[in-house]
Amino acid sequence: MKKKNYDFEDDRNDGVYFIDDNTDGGAVSGLRWEELIPKELKFRPASRKDANEVVELIHLAIGDIAEQLTGQTKVETIRKTLTNFFCEENNRVSYQNVLIADIFNEIAGIIVTYSGADALQLDMPLLERLRRKTRNQNIFFDQEADVGDLYIDTLSVSPKFQGCGIGTELLLKAEESALQKGYDRISLNVAKDNPNAKKLYNRIGYQKDKEIQINGHTYDYMVKTLKK
């Protein structure tokens, strides 16, 4: 039998991802996304070469918080600044903190996590740059994470792959990592005007702990207690 050569055509109007399966019979078969995703989805740590795609997903997820972190307002300059930090180490958006969901060698989604105890230290490179840029030493970032938690800073799924359960899988991977590192709590923030995301987090066990302010917006700080 010849080696299979898969040619993928994306056609999700009817929920089918068509596969041209060039076997001896030359048959064409169709599989639904929910059948393909579990088989093809892989996870890997980010590297510097992922910068452009990952930074775009981070920016899509955090919105105007990116303006606060960079002191920029134009998309190009925001992403250039975030890219520079992504390629460096020991800051909140560093590649070191990013796990990638990969399908068919495409970045389908990302999750950014770090220890709440390290949040202030990881913010400092961005904060010091912003203070130099604005010549204002009184600028501070809002505290997003509690000490003792593994904090999910950003969860973002590519628009091309939304609705396929990839966000849930990334959250589960983050929980596995938290347990391996000895955490018994994992946390995240969800905007008040994002009920769909909050519904997802509630469904997999996150509960509202308190409300906090980030860049002038109110967020629910949600926590999940992990079972060892």
Helix, strand or coil, per DSSP, at residue 12: helix
Give the DSSP per-residue string, 20-86.
Answer: EE-STT--EEEEEHHHHHHHH-EEEE--GGGHHHHHHHHHHHHTTHHHHHHS--SHHHHHHHHHHHH
At 170, the pLDDT band (50, 70, 90 cuts) reads: very high
Residues in the chain: 228
The two structure tokens encoding residue 127: 């904060």
- Per cent of the chain over pLDDT 90 is 78
Q: pLDDT by residue (tens digit) across 54-92?
A: 999 999 999 999 999 999 999 999 999 999 999 999 999
CA distance 101 to 10: 18
What is the gyration radius of the CA atoms in the chain, in angstroms?
20
Determine the pLDDT at residue 228. 72
CA distance 13 to 159: 14
Determine the pLDDT at residue 36. 76
Determine the pLDDT at residue 155. 97
Q: pLDDT by residue (tens digit) across 118-167?
A: 999 999 999 999 999 999 999 999 999 999 999 999 999 999 999 889 99
Identify each DSSP E strand in the chain by its residue range: 6-11, 16-21, 28-32, 42-45, 98-103, 106-115, 150-157, 185-191, 207-214, 217-225
Model confidence at 11: pLDDT above 50: no
Average pLDDT of every residue of the chain: 88
Least confident of 11-15, 147-151, 186-190, 196-200: 11-15
The two structure tokens encoding residue 132: 């130099």
Determine the pLDDT at residue 128. 98
Q: pLDDT by residue (tens digit) across 191-202?
A: 998 998 999 999
Determine the pLDDT at residue 221. 98
- 21 vs 68 pLDDT, higher one: 68
Cα 6–chain centre separation: 29
